[in-house]
Amino acid sequence: MKSAAKKTECADEHTERSGDEVTKGKDFPEALEEQTITFQAIGVDDDLAPDGASGEDAQALAASEGADSDAVAGAPASQAQDEPEKPEEPATTDDATAAEGSDASETTSPATDEADDTDEPDSAEGSDGTKESQGTKESDATEGSDGAEGSDGAEGSDGAEGSDGAEGSDGAEGSDGAEGSDGAERTASAEDVPEVVAETPPDPPEESAHVRELPLPKPVSRALTAALSNLKNSVTGLRLGLDVPGVEDARKAQAEILAQLENYVIPRVHMSVAPALVVVVGSTGAGKSTLVNTLAAAKLSATGVRRPTTGTPVLACHPDDRDWFAKGEVLGGMIRVDRPGTDGTLDSLVLSSSERLPPGVALLDTPDIDSVVEAHHEVAHRMLDAADLWVFVTTAARYADAPSWSVLRRAKERGARLAIVLSRVPVRSRDVIDKHFARMLQEYGLGDVERFVINESTVTAGRLPEEEVAELRMWLTELSVDGQRREQAIQATLDGVMSSFRARVPALARHLEAQVAFRAELRTDVDAAYMAALAEIDEVTTNGSLLRGEVLARWQDFAGSGDLMRTLHMRRPGRLATKASQQAPARSRAFKHALRAALESVIVAAGQRAAEEVVTRWRQRDRAGDRLAATPGLGRPSEEFVRRVGRMVGAWQEHVVGLVRTGGVAKRSVAKLVSFDEESLSLVFMIGLLGYGSSEVAEASGTGTLPERLLRGVLGADSLRTIGTRARSDLRARISLLFDEETLRYVQVLDEAGIPDEAAAKRLYQATYNLEVAR
């Protein structure tokens, strides 16, 4: 069961990548969705119910996943079969992989083998497609998804669904899409495999201290590598843009996890018995360089009274191991140099060798962890991330320093193999200090850590007297000679680091979720503020408070000067009628203008308040919101806003005139007698719509307001109602559109700050789970 589970993990990882391939290669719209579905099908015991995985799409996707997963799962399977038989012939494996890559029908053989194993012949039969190759694909799919089912019993129904999909006609399309990416994937694996194999020496020498690369059993290694690189990919892509509390820690954690994966875990998984890297870490002036020099019996690292002394890390190893470190898999990011640069570039690593060092064990002298040069701390921690064993050096004067204990805490968290050197101990008070320190360690839960005490003694040529380090040298030599013990030590650290991912990666994921949630909150703030503004406008335009100031005066002018009466005129040819239709156009224009200005100012004021509201709300959030709110110009409407509002209101007025003209065909009985001026009537309509209501001007008569009654008389109640509804909803729609544009500015600011990927947290959880399964 376990191997099946591993295969699935591996397969899943490939599926995700193949999903990417597909997106790149073709325009495959489901690609994104596919990733999500994949996740659900695999089913980390997350509280994510597989409810979304229904419908044709989901089935097709599940099918494609299944098909894909198997096609890839076939590769390691065949290797797993080949490997034990002919371990000395990497060429065969090569051929096999190449054959798989070239011919799809070849893939069938291991797949059917496994189909037998998992006693699922039904679906293989069920999928008797017309095309043969298609058929095999589909059977593969079934098998693959079955593997998924095996890996986690809880999600059995999901796996079943996947196999359903494989039988369905949709499966063809799904597997088709997957096929394209398969090729790419297979070539990738073809590249991968020989590399690993080539590193295997034809006949591994036994009992030798020079065991360099003894790969883990292949499937395990592959699964682990896949899980790790999956984790790496998930961690790499994270963008933590919002300054929610703890973002600094999260960013640091992200960088650390990444560095550890790149510099240490991934290279180390390949070669578990490579030379052990012993990192010497400690405070400035604790004597790290002196210690390394003494052990190497050569002045490899500079010593002195200046603090901090060492700026560039120095790696000291046995000459035989030099090549391995020069190659640069461990600490890949550092440039290898022969001597420290003058300007102390922190990205380089001095590589030196000494015969006096035991082979298989390399010492790395690091910069300090607590000097004023803060860049040194970072380098030191990066070195620690790559360490197999930690040698922590402190002194009689420093053993209670806070930075020292933070390193010890980190070692404890990581589960790293640790040795502590208490240096510069005055001979007189050796016992007192040693006991005190031991007690402190005991209290801290590090009582059983190996501890070496070095007396305060004169340093000559950057070295201590040999007898001071004899004990430590013995310990190193033992590590060197006893390959098993070394491996144990290395494995312990590696396990510790990988176990630490169990807590650290989900912590990162949780932070990411917090970011996503926080962004959603900020977004809600924006929406709420603008919704409130919209409601306010609604309120103002219905309660009659618009009929004030200039609008009121113009309305009085319009009505009182008789223009309102002249809006209507008798439909009778003659002198009187034509005379009566003459209005003062200036007056109605002024009235229209006043209406427009009032409506504009209401909207502008609401927009202004909404902008301020957003900033206030953001400020009330913590630091991140505050920082975003400080973006200049957010506290006021955009420069374009006023002009846009003007245009919008103008357009709405035109729209209303149009409505009155087209929609408001007068009642037939009226039309015979009376004609009306549309422009003016639409003004009356607007004032009725916006200005009247419960304003003091409105009369509380049961028959309605003045404009309403007039219009009802002219247009009829039905069409008045229709026009009223349409005009109002049109106005609201226009305002919403305007506010949406305003809202966009905030969204932009949020986006610039970094959009946390909502699926990234899930990917992290899954990657952690995959890693756990693969181990």
Contact (CB, 8 A) for 704 and 712: yes
User: Which of 129, 274, 152 is closest to 215 using CA atoms?
Assistant: 274
- Minimum CB separation from other proteins for residue 284, in Å? 6
CB of 624 to other proteins, least distance (A): 17
Q: Of the candidates 479, 495, 13, 76, which has an alpha carbon nearest to the alpha carbon of residue 268?
A: 495
Structure tokens at 689: 């719509």
Nearest distance in Å: CB 649, other proteins: 13
Residue 582 beta carbon to other proteins: minimum distance, rounded to whole angstroms? 14
Rounded CA gap, 351 and 365, in Å? 11
Other CB atoms within 10 Å distance of the CB of residue 123: 19
Q: Find the shortest distance in angstroms from Cβ 697 to other proteins.
A: 5
First to last CA, the chain: 14
3-state secondary structure 233-244: HHHHCCCCCCCC
Quote the least distance from Cβ 5 to other proteins, whole Å. 44
C-beta separation of 624 from 515 below 8 A: no
- Smallest distance, Å, CB 735 to other proteins? 13
Minimum gap (Å) between residue 117 Cβ and other proteins: 58
Distance CA 223, CA 770 (A): 9
Smallest separation (angstroms) from other proteins to the CB of 496 = 23
Closest among 280, 288, 279 to 307, alpha carbons compared: 288
State in angstroms the smallest separation of the CB of 438 from other proteins.
Answer: 12
Strand partners, 335: 348
Smallest gap from Cβ 531 to other proteins, in A, equals 18
On whether the CB atoms of residues 766 and 505 are closer than 8 A, the answer is: no
Query: Positive or negative CA dihedral for 327, 330, 332, 334?
Result: negative
Q: Which is nearer to other proteins, 190 or 552 (CB)?
A: 552
Residues 6 or more apart whose CB falls under 8 angstroms from that of 469 comprise 291, 294, 295, 454
Residue 741 CB, shortest distance to other proteins, in Å, is 20
Complex with other proteins: residue 108 or 284, whichever CB lies closer: 284
Q: How many CA atoms lie within 13 A of 678 on its CB side?
A: 14
Is 332 or 445 the residue whose CB approaches other proteins more closely? 445
**Structural contact between residues 621 and 521, judged by C-beta atoms closer than 8 angstroms:** yes
Note whether 152 and 10 are within 8 A (CB).
no
Give 155 or 370: the residue with its C-beta nearer to other proteins. 370
Which residue, 405 or 749, is less far from other proteins as judged by CB? 405
Distance (Å, whole) CA 162 – CA 41? 8
Strands 348-353 and 335-337: what pairing? parallel
Query: Which one, 442 or 561, has the nearer CB to other proteins?
Result: 561
Is 356 or 572 the residue whose CB approaches other proteins more closely?
Answer: 572
Structure tokens at 764: 């992290």
The whole-angstrom separation of Cα 94 and Cα 96 is: 5
Q: Are 213 and 330 in contact (CB under 8 A)?
A: no
Residues whose CB falls within 8 Å of the CB of residue 530, separated by 6 or more in sequence, listed in order: 610, 614, 739, 742, 743
Closest approach of other proteins to the CB of residue 299, in Å: 17
Measured from the CB atom, the residue of 160 and 532 that comes closer to other proteins is: 532
Residue whose entry in the numeric block shows the structure tokens 């920082």:
627
Q: Which is nearer to other proteins, 225 or 395 (CB)?
A: 395
Q: Which is nearer to other proteins, 86 or 439 (CB)?
A: 439
How open is the CA angle 652-654-658, to the nearest 5 degrees? 110
Q: How many residues does the chain have?
A: 775
Q: How far is the CB of 556 from other proteins (least distance, A)?
A: 5
Q: Which lies closer to other proteins via its Cβ, residue 560 or residue 702? A: 560
Distance in Å, CB of 436 to other proteins, minimum: 5
* For other proteins, the closer CB: 232 or 463: 463
Q: How many CB atoms lie within 10 A of CB 674?
A: 17
Cβ closest to other proteins, residue 286 vs residue 449: 286
- Check residue 458 and report its DSSP letter: -
Q: For residues 526 and 18, what is the distance between their CA atoms, to the nearest angstrom?
A: 38
CB of 219 to other proteins, least distance (A): 46
Q: Is 605 exposed, middle or buried (0-12, 13-18, 19+ CB in 10 A)?
A: middle
What is the distance of C-alpha 96 from the center of its chain?
37
What's the rounded Cα separation, in Å, for the pair 212 and 487?
A: 11
Q: How far apart are CA 144 and CA 133, in angstroms?
A: 16
Could you tell me if 128 and 96 are in contact, meaning their C-beta atoms sit under 8 angstroms apart? no
Closer CB to other proteins, residue 38 or residue 583? Answer: 583
Nearer to other proteins by Cβ, of 212 and 376: the residue is: 376
Complex with other proteins: residue 55 or 306, whichever CB lies closer: 306
Nearest to 21 by CA among 58, 91, 63, 68: 68
